[in-house]
Amino acid sequence: MKKAKLPKSSKNSIKKEPMLPNYAGKLNRSKAFLVDSFMLLMPIMYIVFYLFMGSREEFGAHKIYGWIEIIVPLVILQTFLLFKFGQTPGFKAYDLYLIDEHTKQKPSFMVILFRNSCAILSFFSIFGWMMMFFRKDYKTLHDLLSNTAVIQK
């Protein structure tokens, strides 16, 4: 039996597709969020409740002021950790990293600060966080606005 001859392929006909990053899944991102909530947010809330405001009742009386005192240090702390190490404690626990989509490297300080500020805004709209469950790359609104991605190493 004769074997069919296949045409020789030239070097020019082979197209290399760009390698897509290994986007972090929604389960690992959600678990990392929970870890960060307990390791970063809870200590800040305790400090604000009992050291700055004196009690939970005082916090309840001045909720807007109290939440500003919680959110501002949280954004600063997360921005510092992501800029310095590329990870928060939750990201580290699940081997996740934040990258800039253009450079595929760690984002600049201002990009991270913008991303974290947008994360707070998208939290209040719920839609921004829920986007991750409907997208193939699991990006949230703040990832899209800052052109960043969370990847699994």
Domain limits, the chain: 22-152
This prediction has a pTM of: 0.80
Between CA 114 and CA 30 the distance in angstroms is 21
Bridge-based pairing state of the strands 148-152 and 96-100: antiparallel
| pLDDT at residue 58 greater than cutoff 70 | yes
| pLDDT at residue 102 greater than cutoff 70 | yes
Cβ neighbours of residue 57 closer than 8 Å, sequence gap 6 or more: none
**Are the beta carbons of 80 and 118 closer than 8 angstroms?**
no
What is the pLDDT at residue 17? 54
What is the pLDDT at residue 20? 67
The amino acid occupying position 107 is P
Residue 56 or residue 79, greater confidence:
79
Residue 15 or residue 45, greater confidence:
45
Band of pLDDT at residue 125, cut at 50, 70 and 90:
confident
| Mean of pLDDT values over 26-37 | 93
